Amino acid sequence: MGELPWIFKLSLAPGLGPVKIKKIADTFDDVKQLSGMDVADISSSAEIDLKSAQIVADTISKKDRSAEKIFKRVQDAGWGICEYGNPNYPELLKEIYDPPPVLYYAGKLSKSDYNSVAVVGTRRATEYGIEAARSIATGLAVSGVTLVSGYAEGIDAAAQKAALDAGGRLIGVLGSALDRPYPVSSIPLMERIAENGVLLSEYPPGASTAASNFPARNRIISGLSLGVLIVEAPERSGALITAYQGLEQGRDVFALPGSIFSLKSRGTNILIKEGASLVVSAEDIVSDLIGRFRSFKINEKVEKEDTCLLSPEEEKVMKVLEDGIMHIDEIMRRVDYPAGRLSVILTKLEMSGAICALDGKKYKKA
């Protein structure tokens, strides 16, 4: 076996953790800079304590049989390892204070997952919450937005299934290792997500599942996303932890309003009172984030005259843009679609590479 990725080796060393490893990775471009370096210099350069610097020096200088076994186990299972600093590491996740040093994944990582929204909520959801989660998740999937969630029963599972049924792409974040999926009842759903997106875990194969894993997992859910939607949650809920972590990470937070008499909506109503954006549809979220979405061409050689893949609504917008650069207000006047619906259509066309967004809310055909 060749030399293992050095961040991968550090991630398995006890006593370091995500924050210190991020400091080390941001300070040193590769392991060659660290090789033979004095412990005191490692400490001062990366701004970590001497004990941690010693762990770094020891880890990179020695062969680690247990790390080799884990690496081989991942390869044999057909999974992947993406370490912090790898070009394929999710861009948004790199921004947070404590990104996972390593992501173990089943499925495929994609740059287009930059356009992601987390959808989470209570396990003990009401019929209202389930139906709302399905409706909004379907709308996000149809708009080309990647949905991020955990694997809790209730809101999370309802949103994931709806997005899959709509042909959407998903990121599922586990609070356990890939070989110890939890909850077991969600394994069929996890398999579907691996086929239509990617499953992620920061825990190596064989790692035990602790209760503390799940609050820690929530920072990854919000960290991967441009925005976080809380569909339904009581006042004390893990979903609210995700919302507040999203705020700390600079993410937009959205909440679905609920009855003032429902304990299951008390958390979301509080979020709205504290300043979260009130939403009732996927269009509300897309309209709010449209300026931050990026365009990703799935196929660089797209025949611009081939409109067979466009919906009638999209064809109508493309027809209007044949007249040249146009402000969104003028497009809306000509097609006569509601603002929220038009925003969704424009986002889909932009992400497919069919149109380009310009300054001043103007658009043109690509």
Q: Which domains does the chain have, with CATH numbers?
A: 1-77 (1.10.150), 111-289 (3.40.50.450), 312-365 (1.10.10.10)
What does the pLDDT look like over 158-167, one tens digit per residue? 999 999 999 8
Report, as an integer, the average pLDDT of 125-151: 92
How far is the C-alpha of 303 from the C-alpha of 290, rounded, in Å?
A: 25
pLDDT attached to residue 37 = 86
Pairing of strands 102-107, 197-201: antiparallel
pLDDT band of 351, cuts 50, 70, 90? low
Judge residue 6's burial from the number of C-beta atoms within 10 Å of its C-beta, 0-12 exposed, 13-18 middle, 19 or more buried. Answer: buried
DSSP 144: T
Strand order in the sheet with 355-358: 326-327, 362-365, 355-358
Q: Are 150 and 221 in contact (CB under 8 A)?
A: yes
Share of the chain above pLDDT 70, in %: 94
Q: Is the pLDDT of residue 49 over 60?
A: yes
CB within 8 Å of 137: residues ≥ 6 apart: 119, 147, 158, 159, 160, 162, 163, 166, 168, 282
Q: Is the pLDDT of residue 270 over 60?
A: yes
What does the pLDDT look like over 280-316, one tens digit per residue? 999 899 989 988 888 754 333 333 334 345 678 888 9
Full-model pTM: 0.80
pLDDT attached to residue 352 = 67
What does the pLDDT look like over 209-240, one tens digit per residue? 888 888 899 999 999 999 999 999 999 888 99
How far is the C-alpha of 26 from the C-alpha of 95, rounded, in Å?
A: 12
pLDDT attached to residue 236 = 84
How far is the C-alpha of 192 from the C-alpha of 151, rounded, in Å?
A: 12
Question: Nearest 5°: phi and psi at 187?
Answer: -55, -45
pLDDT, mean over the chain: 88
Report, as an integer, the average pLDDT of 39-53: 93
pLDDT attached to residue 53 = 92
CA end-to-end span of the chain: 47
Report, as an integer, the average pLDDT of 74-79: 90
pLDDT attached to residue 156 = 93
